[in-house]
Amino acid sequence: MALSRERLRAAYKDACRMEIEALKPGNVHLFADGHGMSAAQFMTSAEVSSGPLTDPRLPVGQRMLEAVRATRLAVATNTNLGIILLAGPLLCAAEMAGAQLHDRLLHDNRLHDNLDAVLRGMSMDDTRAVFEAIVAAAPGGLGEAANDVRQEPKVHLLEAMREAAGRDMIARQYVTCFGDVFGVGLAALKAALARGEGGMWPTVFAYMAFLAGFPDSHVVRKHGAE
């Protein structure tokens, strides 16, 4: 039995809710607004972006573009570009499950294989849509690059992400098939759950694992490495 759109949409919204409910020093969460944004805006963003991101009629790039547009219309700020860029391919990979489901669960290796196929299968139209989504979201610290998202793309999205991977953690995920998401984030979640952690704490431990292992590329872009 394939994963239904409703199940994928619910999983995405649950993930967004758990992320905003978790204590995350330096980031917006349920206990502290910040950066001119509120937790309520993030929850609204999750709701309005969940439809486009799980629309089976749209290719992956267009899903992400429409999700950004829906978010801007609802909250008039960039709450979730990073979430959308990561969730878009993951949701498409999960959608491909079909007969891969066992005991109603999609195993990690299957999801990873599907994700690799999604990323490699993205077209120049997908690239164009992702570039447009990034410009529409207007993220802070967007500077000049060899493959400027404000121009017509000259290379495939993976090549553009490869050029940016050294300074942007989300770009790095595209060229490593989300290696840090699976190898750091998922590993931290599993370890926390195995220890009996509950509530927001598995998410907090995943956040702290990333914080301990990598510099915040968004902060570096805006303020420098020092």
pLDDT 10s digits, 67-98: 999 999 999 999 999 999 999 999 999 998 75
For residue 146, what pLDDT band results from cuts at 50, 70 and 90?
A: low
Question: H helices then E strands: how many in the chain?
Answer: 12, 0
Domain assignment of residue 219, yes or no: no
Place of tokens 């301990």: 212
Q: What is the mean pLDDT of residues 197-214?
A: 95
In this model, does residue 24 exceed pLDDT 70? Answer: yes
Average pLDDT, the chain: 89
The alpha carbon of residue 60 and the mean position of all alpha carbons in its chain are separated, in whole angstroms, by 13
Task: State the pTM of this model.
Answer: 0.89
Domain assignment of residue 48, yes or no: yes
Domain assignment of residue 155, yes or no: yes
Domain assignment of residue 220, yes or no: no
Number of domains in the chain: 1
Q: What is the mean pLDDT of residues 63-68?
A: 99
Q: What is the pLDDT of residue 140?
A: 63
Domain hosting 19: range is 5-177
Domain assignment of residue 199, yes or no: no
Q: What is the pLDDT of residue 223?
A: 64
Q: How many CA atoms lie within 13 A of 74 on its CB side?
A: 21
The dihedral built from the CA positions of residue 12, 54, 147 and 181, taken in this order, carries a sign that is positive
Q: How many CA atoms lie within 13 A of 196 on its CB side?
A: 0
Q: What is the pLDDT of residue 43?
A: 97
Domain assignment of residue 194, yes or no: no
Domain assignment of residue 189, yes or no: no
User: Residue 77: helix, strand or coil by DSSP?
Assistant: coil
Place of tokens 């509530």: 199
